[in-house]
Chain A
Amino acid sequence: MSDENNIKNKVNHEKKYSIFQIAMNLTVTCLVSGAVIAGTYFITAPVALKTAAKIKTDSMKSLVVGAQKFNPIKGKAEWFTAEKDGKIVAYVVPAESKGYGGAIKMLVSVTPQGKIINFDILDSKETPGLGDNASKDPFKNQFKGKEVKQLEVTKDPTKVDQIQAMTGATISSKAVTKGIKEAVQKVTQFVGGK
């Protein structure tokens, strides 16, 4: 008698897990999950867009101090001109080069005469504490006002008009300098060809 009951129970148990129920279970889960994510996205997406745009203009403003307006250049993706009192005072262009730990992405501001104003490292995977210091002074400071021909990395401290390599991070130093040099060359080409 008890055996029979056991079998009956087992059958009932099996029935409870019908394939339809299991499928429904997963469907409902995914439906709820989708609804929750969609709801959150609906609220955060406009904020995220605004934050991203603000970060970009903030970063450009710090690159070209005093500029009032940034206009995208037609035909050049991610290129911007910085205007002050209606005159173009600088070009803000992206630069990229291969560093020690992967690509280094930068934003460089250059005057129409081909002098560097400043630069910003947007994304890099350089060694923290060594190559990572490229975004800090004193390395960063060296670039201000430099021209293309001065953009050579040196380990000789007497060559004051060149770029002094960071101790223990020659590859990162060279990579950053190369990326900036290319950006400056592109800008001079662009201005000259206008």
Chain B
Amino acid sequence: MRELWDIFRKGIIAENPIFVLALSLCPALAVTSSAINSLTMGLAVMFVITANNTVVSITRKIVNPKVRVPVYITSVATIVTVVQLVLQAYLPVLYKALGIYLALIVVFAIILARAEVFASKNKVTPSFFDGLGMGCGFLLALLSIGIIRELLGTGAIFGIKVLGAWYNPALIMILPPGAFILIGYMVAGFKMLTEHMEKVKLEKVKLERGEI
């Protein structure tokens, strides 16, 4: 249980797909102009990565290593198409808002990376939690970018006005340059956080050894 929690947790902070691994930055810039778009995209990716990790892990002994990449891609493409069909039928507005980026989930580096690095070498349960953790990390990263951009760019969150009329929206935040600037600052902030956490850990170890 403890192991599974560790696998799940590392995707959120220590190996966050966007802020630490810096994978799949393109959608992080493109679809985060509003919080609701970010949330849908994050959920879609979380579902795809978890389902794909599970499928890859189940089939890891049958799939021939020589053709594993085409098999993984087919698996991702199938799952993404299913998500697309479902969104188109039940949530057409969001389907339209995500546009081409939904189909592009197929080639997200993070999904193939988790299949190759983790799911193809591990049992089903850990692979499931690895996908879920990475997906959660991705979702949280996208959501935080989306909320900040929408708040600064339009004065609203999820389309609900939070800041009053006194606030003059900084338009640049919902345009692509704003995303670049914000992600830069957030990566820096994340680096500071992880460095601080490591320092605390190191001091704890030293303390236990009685060096201090």
Contacts and interface: CB of A to CB of B under 8 A. Distances in A.
A57 interface: no
Contacts of A33: 74-75, 77-78
B89 A48 contact: yes
Contact of A17 (B33, B64, B90): B64
Contacts of A44: 85-86, 88-90
Contact of B66 (A22, A40, A129): A22
B169 interface: yes
Contacts of B74: 29-30, 33
B85 A17 contact: no
A189 to B, nearest CB: 32
A52 B91 CA distance: 11
Given A22-B64, A36-B78, A47 B175 contact: no
Interface of A is mostly: helix
A160 interface: no
A9 B81 CA distance: 41
Interface string B74-107: 1101100110011011101000000000000000
B78 A25 contact: no
A128 B64 CA distance: 48
A130 B153 CA distance: 12
Nearest to A35: B78
Nearest to B68: A25
A139 interface: no
Given A44-B89, A129-B153, A37 B33 contact: no
Given A22-B64, A29-B71, A51 B81 contact: no
Contacts, number: 68
B206 to A, nearest CB: 48
Contact of B89 (A26, A36, A47, A128): A47
A32 B89 CA distance: 22
A127 interface: yes
A48 B85 contact: yes
B171 A130 contact: yes
B164 interface: no
B64 A129 contact: no
Interface string B138-165: 0000000000000001100000000000
Contact of B90 (A22, A32, A47, A129): A47
Given A33-B74, A33-B77, A129-B171, A17 B66 contact: yes
Given A17-B66, A36-B82, A44-B85, A128 B33 contact: yes
Interface in B48-63: 62-63
Nearest to B64: A25
B67 interface: yes
Contacts of A30: 74
Interface of A: 17, 21-22, 25-26, 29-30, 32-33, 36-37, 40-41, 44-45, 47-48, 51-52, 55, 127-130
25 contacts: A22-B67, A25-B62, A26-B70, A29-B63, A29-B71, A29-B75, A30-B74, A33-B74, A33-B75, A33-B77, A36-B78, A37-B81, A37-B82, A40-B81, A44-B86, A44-B89, A47-B89, A47-B90, A48-B88, A48-B92, A51-B88, A52-B92, A127-B175, A128-B153, A128-B175
